[in-house]
Structures are given as structure tokens and as C-alpha cells.
Structure 1
Amino acid sequence: MAQSFQNLTGSTTDSSSEERLKLIRNGLSARHAREKRFKAYGIAAIALALGFVAMLFGNIISKGLPAFMQATASLDVFYDPEIIKVDPKPEIQAGQSPADFNRAMLDWQRSVTMVNWNRVVEAAVRGAAPDTQADTRQILSLIETNARFTLRDNFVANPELLGQTVKIDLTASANADNWLKGNIDRSLPDAQQQLSAPARQLADQLKEDGVIRYTFASQILTNVDSRSAPASAGLAGAFMGSLYMMLVVILLAVPIGVASAVYLEEFAPKNKLTDLIEVNINNLAAVPSIVFGLLGAAVFINYFRLPLSAPLVGGLVLTLMTLPTIIIATRSALRAVPPSLRAAALGLGASRTQMVFHHILPITYPGILTATIIGVAQALGETAPLLLIGMNAFVAAVPGSPLEQSTALPVQIYLWQGNENRNFFEARTSAAIMVLLSLMILLNAIAIYLRTKLERRT
């Protein structure tokens, strides 16, 4: 009887153990399956995000790269004395005052400017295609309008060109560039074409003969914006305007933001006033950028009477917008420092100021640098606040200082995107985006390098 009971108990125990082991194995299998699914979801999310980024960059690069190749006409230009009827270039005479010489030089340059340089351009094109049926207007429509200024400046620099033939590369017009690159449907009727039929035929002939070829469009990087000569429009003015604004942001937002964060985190008493300040800083970080543009227009332009569309005003507006980001990120870096480090510094006799500036801040430099570069990169791509302070004005000059009128890279992209010559400026817009992204990537690369170097030092 006892033996049978023992057998029954043992069998019951074994079956219960097996059931428990089975439940444990099933639970482990289910947990491992959930972990694998979660890992797969994470990998899929990362792959999807990278795919979208690749699509974005691929779209921008595919559209922007053709803009860096510009149709250029290599012409034999004859400085015809029958057209360029000017006196010899003045030379300073004995006893002549500098003022009189400058006056004579200005009069000579004025007479050179009055020369019909378009006739020289037309003669050069006709020399390359003598059998063309295009008239003067149709011929000149193939060459950028600033070609006459190029020939004029060459002659002013070297008057000995008179009567000589020189090979000069002249930029093709935007319409000619569109036609040769196939940006316009060639099957459209003449009424919908940007060039007349003889001009289109002449452009194809010059391209076939090798007179017109594609060269690197350095003017995108070296020239300023232009309305009269779209093919020569560039980003030099906008690029310098952005650099001046970033300089203002770095000089103002970084020290003010870091100092504010250090005070609030390490020195400020914990009371209702500091709580109110913290809440307002967090709220400012979520305020739309256009609101800061309204504030800048009201305060810096209307009240302080600072120059309209100046990089200084843009930098001040972007500083206000960047400060909350730098303060919040810097405070997070300060909070990440172990309390034991503070206690050890104070225990060794350091004052609170010495503890913060000698022991805490050096450790947080990488985090502060990261916060700074995030804020500056965000400010670099802002457009809305700059539009409200007038930086969308057409400025055909490179600013010499932060007080001179200028535009910025994001605003220049906005202006080119709205240009009526969509076939030409769509590629230019993507090229400008590539320049802006390159500048942002460069800033981030510098930040990563400095952060790595500081981390190794600390």
C-alpha cells in the first residue's frame, strides 16, 4: 500500500515538474521571440529612416549636380578698332596732379563703357557660325548679358588687345543652357519655347562644332545673385551673410547660454522665481521661429533702428532662438556629472566657484559643444525669421561687415525656388541646398572632432 502511494506521488511530482519546465521553456521561447521581433522592428525602422535620408540626398544631388556644369561658348573675340573707337589709355604726365590723372582715367573708362560691346560679341559668334540665319537679337540671346562687361573689363585691364583676336570663354545664357541640357521639351511649338527657332538651331550647331561645351560653373560659388544675368548668379553674398550671422550667434549665444545654464544649475537658489525662469526657457524652446522674427523686427529694427537686412540683425534674432537650446542641453550635461565629484572637490577645500569651473565644466565640455553645434546648425537653416527682418531683399554685393545689407543661404534658396525661370533655377536651388548641407556637415564634423579630442583629454 505504501509502495503504491509512493509510486503515485512520484509520478505526480514528475508530471508537475515536466509541466513547469514546459511552461518555463514556452515562456523563454516567447520572450526570445519578442526580443527578436523587437530587434527586427528596430533594424527595419533604422533601415527605413536611412532609406528616406538616402532618397532625400539622392534627389537633391541628382538635381543639383547638373547645375555645377554650365554651357560655355569658347569664342575667338576680335577687338575691332572699327567698333572700339576710344582714345589711348591715359598715362600720368610730368607735373600732372593725381586728381587730374584720376579724372582723365575716369573719362577714358566712361568712353570705353559707351562702346557697343554687344557688336563685338555678335561678331565673335558669327565668326564661329558664319552661315547662321539668326539676327542680332537671336544671336545675343545665346550669350549671357554680362559678356559685354567681361570684354570691357579685359580691355580696360589691357588696352593693347585693340586689333587682336583672343579666345575667351563666355557663359551661355540660361535659356541656351536649358535648351542644350534638355530641360525643355524640344517638341513644344515655337510659342512655348524660350528661344526662337534660329537661335535654337544656332545653339545646336555651336554645340555640335565644339564651340559650346560644358565647364565647371564656378560662378555659383564666386558670384553674387543676379537678375539680369541668371546664368551668372551665385551664392557668394548669401554665403558670407550666413557666415557673419553664425559668427554673431557663436559670439553671443554660446557664452550667454552656457553662463545662464551654469548659474541656474549650480548657483541659483531653488525658489518660485527660478522655477518660473526654467518654465519660460522650456516654453521658448518650443516657440515657432517666425515669432522670433516678429520680435526681431519690432525690437532690433523698429526700436533700436539697426540696419535692415543686415547679418547683425539676423544673428541677434537667431541668437534669441538658439539660447533655449543651448541652455537646456548645457543643464542636462551639468546634471549628468556625478554628485560625488562635487562632494570630493568641496571636501578638499575648493570653493563653489572653483568646484564648478575647475572640476565640473571641463567634464561637460563635450556636451556643451554638442549643444552649441546643434543650436548653430538649427539657426543656420532657419528662413522664416530672416524673411521678417528683410533679408529676402535683392542684394547684388558681398557684405564687407555684419552691418552691411546681405541675404543668407536659406533665403537665397527660397528666392531661387520662386524664380519664374523654373527650368533653370530648379537645379540651382538643389545646388544651393547642397552647399548649405555641406556647410552644416562641416560644422558637425568639426564638433565631432573637438568633442572626441576633449573626451580623450578629460
Structure 2
Amino acid sequence: MTDFAANDRPMPVYQSDAFARRLRRRYAAERRFRLYGIAAIGVALGMLAILLGSIVSKGYTAFWQHDVVLEINFDPQEIDPAGTRDPAVLGGANYQALAREALRERFPEVDSRSDRRALNDLLSVGAAYELRSMVLENPDLIGTRQAVRLPLSDDADQLLKGNIRREVGQTERRVDDRQIGWIDALEADGAVVSGFNWRLMANGDSREPELAGIYAAAIGSALTLMITLAMAVPIGVSAAVYLEEFAPKNRWTDLIEVNINNLAAVPSIVFGLLGLAVFLNLFGLPRSAPVVGGIVLALMSLPTIIITTRAALKAVPPSIREAALGIGASRLQVVGHHVLPLAMPGVLTGTIIAMAQALGETAPLLMIGMVAFIVDIPGGFTDAATVLPVTIFMWADSPERAFVERTSAAIMVLLAFLIAMNALAIILRKKFERRW
């Protein structure tokens, strides 16, 4: 046999220069791809930070509000001349006059009609409502003098928060120099106080931004989601179980599956048009009611629940089914006692995500009339109501500067609910998820 020198042996391909160059190019391409991914994530996080920063910077001031403390003379001649203590008489008194008189007592030098009108504009019209509520709750206040905390107007509140700049010309701001002087005098005397804006959380909607609140919208959202949950979950889970575990595989079930997947991509306003045409015009259900909104959102949520439930059922190993069938369980028992409980984490996750999506929907609810101006708190599923996203939509269209901060504050509250629901979905999945 012929012996070859070591340097005469052919070099392996994986040690050649060409291979090394190709390997370096592949590694360089991989590094570039990773950098592209990191850059994309960084851009997305940056845009999210900009969005959240813009919302928070505009809305955090809405969570506190400035009030004025005035000595109110609950004059019996004005409130209850006959002394009957009749609630109808007490409720019809001119409480705004009492509040304005107390404010004028602080500034006795204001005597002209235009100055008095400008001074009265510092008080919110809600001052009368709060005084009336106090008297109706405690008629013994009649005939006494009490220091009462009353809301300032939205312009005065915005000036104190710095949202209306003092340094601009008088013609360019809604508060003139006289009013600024009176506000500064009240603040110097300690009559202006600030605190948590409970009206934002406890009131219904209002044309006056300093009185507008989200409580009615929050109750409307809760009632609507109750209907959505009660309808979408049983129907969606049952449909998913049937399609995945019992339905025969033929062209009809394939057609149903394709349509379910297509429905998940249908614009939400189409479901609103369906609700308007069928539930309102055909069935005559009440307009602007949570029951109609809940049905529409349930239809919109069904594809999401069905798809996620089927995925959760598929994730259960076939050995579970085979073992249950092997010991004599029926197919219904296999699904009800073994498969569905093991798939429950995925089912709960999909349900919560679908409910979070329904909570943030606006377009379908606009079509069924839930855009109406609702002040009263809804007491049932058939009462007129609105929801948080629609309230945000309406406030965003209002010209007052104070509604800008309240719009952002309502968005912050809505985002808090959505984050809480998604966090709950993650917790439930981590808690009940099983690794196979």
C-alpha cells in the first residue's frame, strides 16, 4: 500500500477557508437578525411608553380637584318659608343663590353687575346640587350657618392646576384678570382646598366637566359584561367541545370551522349593525340597554372563546381519553370528567381575554344607541345605560379643557381594568396549567 504524507491528505470541507467564510456570514446574519428583533421590540416599547406617558401626563390631574370653603347661611325664608319641611319644597329652593351670596360676602367690594357675574362664574353649578343634597339628608341645617366645601368651576380648577397659563394675554384664556385676583385671594385666605376627586368616581355623566364622573358608565359596563359572560361562555364552550370531541369530520364541519375563524376577523361594527337590525328593529328590545349590548358583545366574543377552547382541548394528551375509554367511561364522561377539567386553564384564559376585548369595544355599542347621554345610574339590565369606552368617546369630543384630562383619566381607569383582567388570565394559566 502507498503511504501518504500528512500534508498530502485532502483538507476536510468543514475546515476549508470557503466554509469558514460561509460560517462567518451565517453568524453575522444571525447577529443582524437578533439586532433587528431587539430594535423592533425597543421601538414598540418606546411607542407604548410615549402613548402611556401622553395619557398619564394629561390625565393624572383629573384625580384631584379644587374646592372652595364658604360660610353658607341656610336661610329659612329661602329654603322653607312655611316651615313644613316638605321634601318637595326643600328640593325646589334656590340653593345656587345661597352659594353665590356666601361668595359675595367674601368680596363685598364687588358691586357692579358684570363683576358679580364674573365672580359667580367661579362657582360650579354643582354647588346648588350638593347644598340641596345636604339639606334633604339633614333638614336641621335650615336656619344655621355652616362652612361647606363646594366645587369650583372647571376653569378655576384648571387655572389652579396650571393647565390655564396665567402669563398669556387675557383674551387668550378663559379666566380674566379679575377672576385670577379673586382666586388668589381665596387661596391666600385658605378657602381653596384640594383633594381626591371623588366626583370622578362617584358621579354619572354631566355637561359640566367638574361634575362629570364614570360611575354610571362603570355600572353599565359591568351589567353589559354580565350578559356577555352569561351568554358567550356556555354557548362558546359547548360549541367548541362538540366540534372538537363529537362532531364528525366532513365538509359541513369544515365549513363551520372556516366560518368561525372568519368571524373572528369580522369588524366589530358589523356586529353592531346586526344588533341594530335584529335585536332593536326586529325583536323590539330596549334601546341603549345593557341586555342588547351584552348580546351583541357575546356574538362578537364567541369566535374567540370557541377557538381558544378548541386549542385547549387539543392540548390534552390522547392518552387521557384512551385511558378513560379503556376503563369503560362513555365519551361524554371522558370529556366531562377528564378532558374539559384538564383544558380549563386554557378555557379560562380565552374567556378572560374575550371579556377584556368586549370591555374595550365601542363601535358595536354606538350602533345600538349606548352613546346616549346618561346621567342616572342604571338599576337593571333593561335600563338605559352607557359604558366606559363610549363615555371616553363622548368626552373626547367635548371642547372644554377639563374634559381633556377627564378623558385621559377614564382611559387610565379602563386600562387598569384591562391590565387586571389580563393579569388574572396569566395567573390562572400559571396556577392550573399542567405540563405533559
2:39 to 40, 44, 49: 44
What one-letter code is carried by the residue in structure 2 that aligns with 1:295?
A: L
CA deviations on 1:95-134 (whole Å, 9 max, x unpaired) are xxxxxxxxxxxxx233334433223212221333444467
SS at match of 1:391: coil
2:163 to 158, 183, 186: 183
Q: Where in structure 2 are the equivalents of 1:33-182 lying within 5 Å?
A: 33-81=28-76, 83-84=78-79, 86-90=81-85, 108-132=86-110, 135-182=115-162
1:204 aligns with 2:184: yes
Contact 1:190–1:197 under 8 Å retained in 2: yes
Contact 2:353–2:425 under 8 Å retained in 1: no
> How many percent of aligned residue pairs carry the same amino acid?
48
2:421 to 422, 439, 443: 443
Contact 1:122–1:136 under 8 Å retained in 2: no
Give the C-alpha shift of residue 344 in structure 1: 2.4
Give the C-alpha shift of residue 6 in structure 1: 5.1
Contact 1:141–1:195 under 8 Å retained in 2: no
Contact 1:264–1:274 under 8 Å retained in 2: yes
SS at match of 1:232: coil
What one-letter code is carried by the residue in structure 2 that aligns with 1:242?
A: S
Give the C-alpha shift of residue 143 in structure 1: 1.1
| Cα distance in structure 2, aligned partners of 1:197 and 1:70 | 22
2:220 to 204, 226, 241: 241
SS at match of 1:230: coil
What one-letter code is carried by the residue in structure 1 that aligns with 2:39?
A: A
Q: Where in structure 2 are the equivalents of 1:333-412 lying within 5 Å?
A: 333-412=312-391
Contact 2:200–2:215 under 8 Å retained in 1: yes
Give the C-alpha shift of residue 392 in structure 1: 0.4
| Cα distance in structure 1, aligned partners of 2:93 and 2:233 | 54
What one-letter code is carried by the residue in structure 2 that aligns with 1:442?
A: A
Give the C-alpha shift of residue 295 in structure 1: 0.2
1:20 to 10, 15, 21: 15
1:218 to 198, 202, 213: 198
What one-letter code is carried by the residue in structure 2 that aligns with 1:308?
A: R
CA deviations on 1:145-168 (whole Å, 9 max, x unpaired) are 021122222223333323322111
Which segments of 5 or more consecutive residues in structure 1 lack a partner in the other structure? 91-107
| Cα distance in structure 1, aligned partners of 2:92 and 2:7 | 116
| Cα distance in structure 1, aligned partners of 2:229 and 2:80 | 55
| Cα distance in structure 2, aligned partners of 1:334 and 1:51 | 37
Give the C-alpha shift of residue 211 in structure 1: 1.5
Relative to the length of structure 1, the TM-score reads 0.88
CA deviations on 1:45-70 (whole Å, 9 max, x unpaired) are 32332222222222211111001111
Which segments of 5 or more consecutive residues in structure 2 lack a partner in the other structure? none
What one-letter code is carried by the residue in structure 1 that aligns with 2:421?
A: L
Contact 2:353–2:421 under 8 Å retained in 1: no
| Cα distance in structure 1, aligned partners of 2:58 and 2:296 | 32
| Cα distance in structure 2, aligned partners of 1:170 and 1:146 | 8
Give the C-alpha shift of residue 179 in structure 1: 2.5
| Cα distance in structure 1, aligned partners of 2:350 and 2:52 | 25
Contact 1:242–1:409 under 8 Å retained in 2: yes
With over 3 angstroms needed to count, the CA separation of the structure-2 counterparts of 1:346 and 1:158, relative to structure 1, is closer
Counterpart of 1:454?
A: 432
What one-letter code is carried by the residue in structure 1 that aligns with 2:37?
A: G
With over 3 angstroms needed to count, the CA separation of the structure-2 counterparts of 1:200 and 1:328, relative to structure 1, is same
CA deviations on 1:26-57 (whole Å, 9 max, x unpaired) are 45444444443333333333233222222222
SS at match of 1:401: coil
Counterpart of 1:103?
A: none
| Cα distance in structure 2, aligned partners of 1:18 and 1:265 | 51
Larger Rg: 1
Give the C-alpha shift of residue 256 in structure 1: 0.5
Q: Name the stretch that deviates more: 438-447 or 63-72.
A: 438-447
| Cα distance in structure 2, aligned partners of 1:218 and 1:271 | 59
Q: Where in structure 2 are the equivalents of 1:220-369 lying within 5 Å?
A: 220-227=200-207, 229-369=208-348
| Cα distance in structure 1, aligned partners of 2:14 and 2:338 | 59
| Cα distance in structure 2, aligned partners of 1:273 and 1:18 | 55
Contact 1:118–1:140 under 8 Å retained in 2: no
Give the C-alpha shift of residue 400 in structure 1: 0.7
| Cα distance in structure 2, aligned partners of 1:192 and 1:406 | 38
Give the C-alpha shift of residue 269 in structure 1: 0.9
SS at match of 1:416: helix
Relative to the length of structure 2, the TM-score reads 0.92
| Cα distance in structure 1, aligned partners of 2:91 and 2:327 | 78
Contact 2:13–2:19 under 8 Å retained in 1: no
Q: Name the stretch that deviates more: 317-326 or 277-286.
A: 277-286
Give the C-alpha shift of residue 378 in structure 1: 0.8
Q: Let me know the Cα RMSD of the aligned residues.
A: 2.4
Count of residue correspondences: 434
With over 3 angstroms needed to count, the CA separation of the structure-2 counterparts of 1:34 and 1:397, relative to structure 1, is same
Q: Name the stretch that deviates more: 295-304 or 356-365.
A: 356-365
Contact 1:237–1:406 under 8 Å retained in 2: yes
Give the C-alpha shift of residue 217 in structure 1: 0.6
